[in-house]
Structure 1
Amino acid sequence: MSSENSSNSSLNTFEARDTLKVGDNSYEIYRLDAVAGTEKLPYSLKVLAENLLRTEDGANITKDHINAIANWDPSADPSIEIQFTPARVIMQDFTGVPCIVDLATMREAVGDLGGNPDQVNPLAPAELVIDHSVIIDVFGSADAFERNVEIEYSRNGERYQFLRWGQGAFDDFKVVPPGTGIVHQVNIEYLARVTMVRDGVAYPDTCVGTDSHTTMVNGLGVLGWGVGGIEAEAAMLGQPVSMLIPRVVGFKLSGEIQPGVTATDVVLTVTEMLRKHGVVGKFVEFYGNGVAEVPLANRATLGNMSPEFGSTAAIFPIDDVTIDYLRLTGRSDEELALVEAYAKAQGMWHNPEHEATYSEYLELDLSTVVPSIAGPKRPQDRIELSDAKSAFRKDIHNYVENGNPAPQTKLDEAVEESFPASDPAVLSFADNGSEPLHSAAAGAEGRPTKPVNVSVEDRGQFVLDHGAVAIASITSCTNTSNPSVMLGAALLARNAVEKGLTAKPWVKTSMAPGSQVVSDYYDKAGLWPYLEKLGFYLVGYGCTTCIGNSGPLLEEISKAINDNDLTVTAVLSGNRNFEGRISPDVKMNYLASPPLVIAYALAGTMDFDFETDPLGKDTDGNDVFLKDIWPSSKDISDTIASAINQEMFKKNYADVFKGDERWQNLPTPSGKTFEWDANSTYVRKPPYFDGMPAEPQPVSDITGARVLALLGDSVTTDHISPAGNIKAGTPAAQYLDSNGVDKKDYNSYGSRRGNHEVMIRGTFANIRLRNQLLDDVSGGYTRDFTQPDGPQEFIYDAAQNYAAQNIPLVVLGGKEYGSGSSRDWAAKGTSLLGVRAVITESFERIHRSNLIGMGVIPLQFPAGESAASLKLDGTEVFDITGIEELNNGKTPKTVHVTATKSDGSAVEFDAVVRIDTPGEADYYRNGGILQYVLRNMLRTG
């Protein structure tokens, strides 16, 4: 059981401990009204205040921290660091596998040091949903789902066996098997508690997740956000997450959504507003009379997009809408009563008449929202649907000039996401009854055009042109949780089929709902046949197109696109549309509501005006426009009322951890420690605890260090952490080659996160990384000073040569080092390459913390100084003294750095030590957070 969540762990300085009676049950709670000032706090900060009250220990969490949050100054910039202890951890399979690998390794280390391996268990509930591995290889056929799942198991069997072992070996760790749903939808429909009960204590459900869209659960009033794997592991093992008390943006909602406007339109409008306002690092909290008018599914959609507008969280308070949703999704009467009673007792129940004080304010009248899409490369670039054609014609010139490729534009930094390898041989498609010749050029005047004749068996002949919609996918967590848009899409499909319309033959159509409940209500409403007639067959329950798992296009279409350098488009109902992310064949990507995804599959091109361009002709030869097939609000609400019920949720989640026959029949190792397969290229035992003594060795100064990389400003974790495809010829590919893996089976870095050998080789290997040790070279290269004249080498190969000669390494960086996603491998890879210190002008908070968690000391140049101003070129030998002061239980404010040049001259400066809390100092003294936790386990027995 979790010690941090038991009543005995709190000093209870404010005498806040009390009893809450709900029906026949009594719960221990920590009352917020025991602390003056908390009544005026925003909902989200009340959750944090309760968290501190309940976990007060006098060291990392003190009465001063509690007073600081009670006396929160909305206008101040964040400066006070607090330790937040999440109630639970949620993971998906790409990011979750390394967490379980580390726990498995820790079990062995505890045993090797004479402890009990059974001690190593999550101290907070941890749940992992396998949803990131399904790829749309098969589409447009009735067996697409089954065949995609089959391929998924064949690709990922090793990882799944390992996760099945973990489910049996660890307490408080559960796995939702493949083919069940998307992690965030499973979270809101089943896993979220809203009010937790543990050891007799009731407290707010909070979570951190190893996926940025964990914020979807904010729609239920559950405070949570995405973190890197290191933070997630720490939270699982009872360690708090370090954070600053944030600014909170109050977002007032008023008015009602107009007919024809969807939740997607609202969220794209809010994304544009908040990105423009600037909310990075802040909480967003929705309030006002309009909150009651926002259905829970729409709240979840808004919470989900928090990473797209940049906030840490985007939360709704608890109210009747929350309770109704919990009831619909099958939560018990006892749970419902507790959620309501607890929220009211703690002043967390939404009262539109009581306005909290916020740091900043925005307001949206929902009645002003109009149908929208976003693109062609960022979620915040909203386009009103009425302007979509003209916007496309303007944007296409960034990709094409007079039918020829435009000069290469700078790609978005966030593109380095995975394109998992797919086997075109498993493609399938169906005859959609299309006419012999179609054209993707809908009136080519005013834009570049390059018509190409294409012939595809079973799909006939057609003309492909710039702007053709190559992918139309209803996918991702954002919208596939929302019955209003999912049923809206299906009703639009029904109306289109009844008018005799068909999807264009060049469009790869797919339907990937967030949970199996969607299939149930499609069945009950009798709508699946219409979706399938348009090619929207079920392809899987998982994150598909949105994360680049769109799978290959038909071979003939892909060839036509690449041979003629056509700029084609994708339309998806997701949250991410960065350049290069969706498909290597597609340059322009647009986010749209599920009904509009189907509308664009019918149109076949982005060069289309739904108001003036007909989608086709009906059986009587009359033009059919979008307005003729768009379902009415009443049609949608009536279908929701008749097609969705509580029993669907209860049935689908009754045995959610059991899995299908494939899952149950996986040959799975048993035992409390994992039997590592020496031949596995997916799951390997990492070296974090190799040779680790029971007591930490004194930390030492760094002498004779060499620079592995000299980097500029705004180096993100995407630059550092391995992501995307594994490219032939790189160190990671060479490793796989040497282990007998064929190139077609390389898969992605994401799928191989459980193998440190692959991940180390991909660290600092991003094709856009610019290491200033080299002139005008991009990618994972450096100079190797173990050799005469320091020739160019892969960073991994150079690091290995340095390690062989026991030469420590440092990395030099500029401003905002480590910004972006909190990728754990950005820190893990840095450490395993032999980097002992990173010296920058400034750090992004989470990466700084993660470096300490991996035993790397983060240092900053003196204020106003930089590598350039100090005339450091990276060829120097570095000595860093003063680190050893940490052995005396104190953290020095600065350490002394001497950088000696080849001519014997030296640059000297005092670097600021960015170990900011006592807990972080403990982690560093132990060589990392996992070592610290492990030694604590040995001490406490």
Structure 2
Amino acid sequence: MTESYLKHFTSQNKSYMYYDYPEWLQNQGQQLSQYPYTIRILMEALLRASDQKPELQQNLATLVDWDHNHDHDVAFKAQRVLLQDFTGVPALVDLAAMRDKVMALGGDGRQINPDVPVHLIIDHSVQVLASGTPDAFAENIKKEFKNNQERYQFLKWAQQAFENLTVIPPDNGIIHQINLEYLAKVALTETNEGTALVFPDTVVGTDSHTTMTNGLGVLGWGVGGIEAEASMLGEFSYFPIPEVVGVRLSGTLPTGATATDLALTVTHALRQINVVGKFVEFFGPGLKDLTVADRATIANMAPEYGATCGYFPIDQQTLDYLKLTGRPVDQIQLIDDYAHLNGLWYDTTQDAQRHYTTTLPIDLSQIKPSVAGPKRPQDLVPLTDLAAKFTAEKTTLTVKTANHTYDLENGAIGLAAITSCTNTSNPALMLTAGLVAKKAVAAGLKVPEYVKTSLAPGSKAVTDYLKQAGLMPYLDQLGFNLVGYGCTTCIGNSGSLKPEVVQALANSDFSMSGVLSGNRNFEGRVNPLIKDTYLASPPLVVAFALAGTLAIDLTREALGYGTNGQPVYLKDLWPTQTDIAEAIQQNIDSALFKRSYQDILAGNAHWDSLDVAATPTFNWDKTSTYIACPTFLENMTAAKPEMTQEFTALKVLAKFGDSITTDHISPAGFIGQQSPAGQYLMAHHVQPQDFNSYGSRRGNHEVMVRGTLANIRIKNQLTPDKEGGYTIYWPTKTQMSIYDAAKAYQKDQTSGLVILAGKDYGMGSSRDWAAKGVKLLGVKAVIAESFERIHRSNLVMMGVLPLQFKLGDNAEKLGLDGSETFDIQLDSAQQTAHVTATKNDGQVINFDTILRFDTPSDVKYYENDGILSMIIRQKTNL
């Protein structure tokens, strides 16, 4: 079917091939001009894939009438995968374990490699332990390597062991900014019978802000770790054909309004119309003057406005940015030619014809300086209204520093951070921050001593152009010294507040505030002692730090008083549009970006000193509490077993109500000393001060399984009087931790466990260990009223049955209290599972459930006891 649509074209006197999906559409009686660009990219990918998988032709056909087929799934396989170190480590640990298993079964472990290019950027581990000093960066790096040596050794081994894997060492930048400035290609090529095939660059990443690349015309979004592993190993993912919301931009940003203000306004507006799970696509006359850096700031915030992605189509701004960031000239020309030829170049004349599910107009000229907070990124607050947020109650805190005694009131800032790829990727914003700092220093302003300040840009290019513009010394003088290149304060790696502030807060209920140029400000996220956190542009972070408080109207109140005793206002510090444009023109060019990225793979002295054996399989250290060979493949045989159709004598591990999230299920954050994970670490001679976080220990299944279902706020109905990860071990009716109960069931050879749940089981951010941990606890099936889509998929990929109560049924209506013994019999042909629940007194409750195998791949995953075993059997000749 599709070979007839494989066409040739010439670019720069070279011959290329491409799949002509516009002609395919025309043969379906459709007009290309009516389709959103995101749907066009999905079509091209499916048309291309249909050559190898003819079964996808029907899937492609459903896209023709995409806006009436949202109850159908679309198949998608990204061409690249991005990993950050927290979520990337367990993915590579699984690949290493797969190699071990292949070797154990007599095969060649080197056959296990990613099928598509994978980039792992180490950016989530650096913490702001030192700040406000010239040596802060060096100090933080030193401590970072000390705390993460085992993880980094493993990643360095993986770099040389796996094909198609590139590891970018620590302290180079943030995953999404590096992707935007360096990795993204926009159009990819692969050689096919001697001629290069051209197709759109698409990507998935194990971080929700992978959406940032949509600002460059690259379709991509964040996925959970297991889904990323599937993509790495060449598997298609399936998701409902999305609604596409068009955002029509008009006008231009007024003086004083920034891309951050626009991004926060867009986030607020889109939250009002509910774009959760939908594609958002930007178009309109306002695009013409909106730079890729501005677009990327908006696209980065897609998780905050709830969309799968926020896409900007390819146009001249795309090519200009690629040229600025030093991409090869021939690659830029190829993108230009291909996008025009294959209907992916933004055509303003088609705006009226293009169909969207719904359209939202936004006039850029109406954007006002704003912040967002105090707890949600969608809660927009104009600068003029911010002070009023802190007048409801009057509390005070006395902080004594070496030079001053401060009597702080509500709104006092404990933390001011220029951080996160969201805004540090934008040269206009960063240079504006530097220019504000320069004028502030000239006026004699200083940041109060109780404010912890930090600068953590998303790439070295930022500090390079700030230095070249002569602005770094002024940021340094205000305490915004470089602390690291990575996701610091934005993900909670903010370190401690100033010691004097911590001491003052020890016996007080005073609420300190924070301001950062990031994308998330959930309560307690950036620092446990910071209650109200506001998102703001980098120059506003500098301004608020100078004021020392958020309880101020920066549009009319003075930031402070200069050396001449006169009040200094924000308008006195803010540069003109001409000043900003000149700073960009004089200090940023392609040579700067090329210099910044030329040694990105080289690492630093700490990285180079890591001793790693050049072996195809990993030498596991059995004493390590960070990296361990997982047991998912322990019982795997070379031959695929018969699919398990029947389970008997299963016991209930936990019984939950509605809205149990992956935050409840998955190990995350702080490891308590009395928790099963804490007890395990202490038994292995790790002191509480060295526990680190669950995130840093994701490569050790022994820690992670003990943290599964161990959230201190989870409510198991089997133990109604005790909150947290507890359950009843039914043979003795003893209350114990969920982990200890699971181990007891394994010891007494119980055949398996069941989880009962209500609606939306597994909702929230998808996390790989929410499924992996449940698998290792011995759970064979989860029976719920409904499932979150990605978590349902993850359960299947780990070989755990997702069974859904039929409409009108739930545990309460059926009289299930969790004490029963369960037998389950599958009827795959009918997509049902018959369940028999037997109570202790012999009463039997029979009911049917829906077997949630939703995609063609689900049966294959399940019958192989998970994706890892399936891939091994597919890839090797065992």
Whether the TM-score (by the shorter chain) exceeds 0.5 is yes
Give 1:933's aligned residue: 871
Give 1:56's aligned residue: 50
Secondary structure at 2:873 match in 1: helix
Give 1:725's aligned residue: 670
TM-score between the two structures when normalised by the length of structure 1 = 0.91
1:508 has 2:470 as partner = no
Using the TM superposition, give the Cα deviation of residue 910 of structure 1 relative to its aligned residue in structure 2, in angstroms: 0.5
Give 1:901's aligned residue: 839
Mapped partners of 1:31, 1:392: distance in 2: 58
- In the TM superposition, what whole-angstrom CA distance separates every residue of 1:833-861 from its partner, at most 9, and x where no partner exists? 10100111111111000000000010100
Q: Mapping of 1:843-922 within 5 angstroms?
A: 843-881=787-825, 883=826, 885-886=827-828, 891-922=829-860
Picking from 267, 270, 274, the partner of 1:271 is 267
Give 1:366's aligned residue: 364
Give 1:90's aligned residue: 82
Give 1:778's aligned residue: 723
Counterpart AA for 1:327 = K
Mapped partners of 1:618, 1:555: distance in 2: 27
1:741 has 2:735 as partner = no
Does structure 2 retain, via aligned residues, the 8 Å contact 1:880–1:898?
A: yes
Structure 2, unaligned runs of 5 or more: none
Using the TM superposition, give the Cα deviation of residue 82 of structure 1 relative to its aligned residue in structure 2, in angstroms: 2.2
Structure 1, unaligned runs of 5 or more: 1-11, 395-446
Mapped partners of 2:235, 2:130: distance in 1: 43
Using the TM superposition, give the Cα deviation of residue 201 of structure 1 relative to its aligned residue in structure 2, in angstroms: 1.7
Q: Mapping of 1:464-543 within 5 angstroms?
A: 464-543=408-487
Give 1:383's aligned residue: 381
Does structure 2 retain, via aligned residues, the 8 Å contact 1:14–1:35?
A: no
Using the TM superposition, give the Cα deviation of residue 58 of structure 1 relative to its aligned residue in structure 2, in angstroms: 7.5
Does structure 2 retain, via aligned residues, the 8 Å contact 1:375–1:383?
A: yes
1:190 has 2:182 as partner = yes
Mapped partners of 1:168, 1:575: distance in 2: 34
Using the TM superposition, give the Cα deviation of residue 225 of structure 1 relative to its aligned residue in structure 2, in angstroms: 0.5
Using the TM superposition, give the Cα deviation of residue 449 of structure 1 relative to its aligned residue in structure 2, in angstroms: 1.9
Picking from 115, 122, 133, the partner of 1:141 is 133
Give 1:18's aligned residue: 7
Mapped partners of 1:539, 1:870: distance in 2: 57
- In the TM superposition, what whole-angstrom CA distance separates every residue of 1:171-193 from its partner, at most 9, and x where no partner exists? 11001111100000000001101
Q: Mapping of 1:430-829 within 5 angstroms?
A: 447-452=393-398, 454-457=399-402, 459-700=403-644, 701-787=646-732, 790-807=733-750, 808-829=752-773
Give 2:150's aligned residue: 158
Give 2:324's aligned residue: 328
Secondary structure at 1:62 match in 2: helix
Secondary structure at 1:793 match in 2: strand
Does structure 2 retain, via aligned residues, the 8 Å contact 1:221–1:315?
A: yes
Does structure 2 retain, via aligned residues, the 8 Å contact 1:101–1:685?
A: yes
Using the TM superposition, give the Cα deviation of residue 467 of structure 1 relative to its aligned residue in structure 2, in angstroms: 2.1
- In the TM superposition, what whole-angstrom CA distance separates every residue of 1:652-694 from its partner, at most 9, and x where no partner exists? 1112111112111211122100000111110000011113111
Counterpart AA for 1:836 = K
Does structure 1 retain, via aligned residues, the 8 Å contact 2:464–2:596?
A: no
Mapped partners of 1:57, 1:77: distance in 2: 23
- In the TM superposition, what whole-angstrom CA distance separates every residue of 1:16-59 from its partner, at most 9, and x where no partner exists? 11122111222221111231236122101111111111111686
Which deviates further from its counterpart, 185-194 or 62-71?
62-71
Secondary structure at 1:691 match in 2: coil
Give 1:309's aligned residue: 305
Counterpart AA for 1:456 = T
- In the TM superposition, what whole-angstrom CA distance separates every residue of 1:415-460 from its partner, at most 9, and x where no partner exists? xxxxxxxxxxxxxxxxxxxxxxxxxxxxxxxx312232x2233x53
Mapped partners of 1:351, 1:487: distance in 2: 32
Alpha-carbon distance change, 776 to 309 in structure 1, aligned in 2, over 3 angstroms: farther
Give 2:296's aligned residue: 300
Mapped partners of 1:141, 1:838: distance in 2: 52
Mapped partners of 1:784, 1:755: distance in 2: 26
Using the TM superposition, give the Cα deviation of residue 60 of structure 1 relative to its aligned residue in structure 2, in angstroms: 7.9
Does structure 2 retain, via aligned residues, the 8 Å contact 1:60–1:918?
A: no
Using the TM superposition, give the Cα deviation of residue 251 of structure 1 relative to its aligned residue in structure 2, in angstroms: 0.6
Counterpart AA for 1:27 = Y
Using the TM superposition, give the Cα deviation of residue 77 of structure 1 relative to its aligned residue in structure 2, in angstroms: 6.0
Mapped partners of 2:727, 2:658: distance in 1: 18
Mapped partners of 1:556, 1:661: distance in 2: 34
Mapped partners of 1:460, 1:659: distance in 2: 42
- In the TM superposition, what whole-angstrom CA distance separates every residue of 1:753-775 from its partner, at most 9, and x where no partner exists? 00001110111111221111111
Secondary structure at 1:293 match in 2: coil
1:28 has 2:10 as partner = no
Give 1:439's aligned residue: none
Q: CA RMSD in A?
A: 1.3
Mapped partners of 1:810, 1:26: distance in 2: 58
Runs of 4+ in 1 over 6 A off after TM superposition: none
| Equivalences, count | 865
Which deviates further from its counterpart, 717-726 or 30-39?
30-39
Counterpart AA for 1:131 = D
Secondary structure at 2:203 match in 1: strand
Does structure 1 retain, via aligned residues, the 8 Å contact 2:173–2:459?
A: yes
Counterpart AA for 2:394 = P
Does structure 2 retain, via aligned residues, the 8 Å contact 1:839–1:858?
A: yes
Mapped partners of 2:756, 2:489: distance in 1: 37
Mapped partners of 2:538, 2:497: distance in 1: 20
Mapped partners of 1:77, 1:64: distance in 2: 13
Secondary structure at 2:780 match in 1: strand
Secondary structure at 2:483 match in 1: coil
Mapped partners of 2:199, 2:630: distance in 1: 36
Does structure 2 retain, via aligned residues, the 8 Å contact 1:125–1:172?
A: yes
Mapped partners of 1:758, 1:906: distance in 2: 38
Picking from 777, 780, 785, the partner of 1:841 is 785
Using the TM superposition, give the Cα deviation of residue 647 of structure 1 relative to its aligned residue in structure 2, in angstroms: 0.9
Using the TM superposition, give the Cα deviation of residue 14 of structure 1 relative to its aligned residue in structure 2, in angstroms: 6.4
Mapped partners of 1:777, 1:265: distance in 2: 45
Secondary structure at 1:656 match in 2: coil
Does structure 1 retain, via aligned residues, the 8 Å contact 2:451–2:498?
A: no
Does structure 2 retain, via aligned residues, the 8 Å contact 1:41–1:70?
A: no
Secondary structure at 1:28 match in 2: strand
Mapped partners of 1:777, 1:364: distance in 2: 50
Alpha-carbon distance change, 536 to 304 in structure 1, aligned in 2, over 3 angstroms: same
Counterpart AA for 2:429 = V
Does structure 2 retain, via aligned residues, the 8 Å contact 1:485–1:593?
A: yes
Does structure 2 retain, via aligned residues, the 8 Å contact 1:711–1:770?
A: yes
Using the TM superposition, give the Cα deviation of residue 461 of structure 1 relative to its aligned residue in structure 2, in angstroms: 2.7
Alpha-carbon distance change, 819 to 60 in structure 1, aligned in 2, over 3 angstroms: farther
Which deviates further from its counterpart, 460-469 or 115-124?
460-469
Counterpart AA for 1:682 = Y
Give 1:443's aligned residue: none
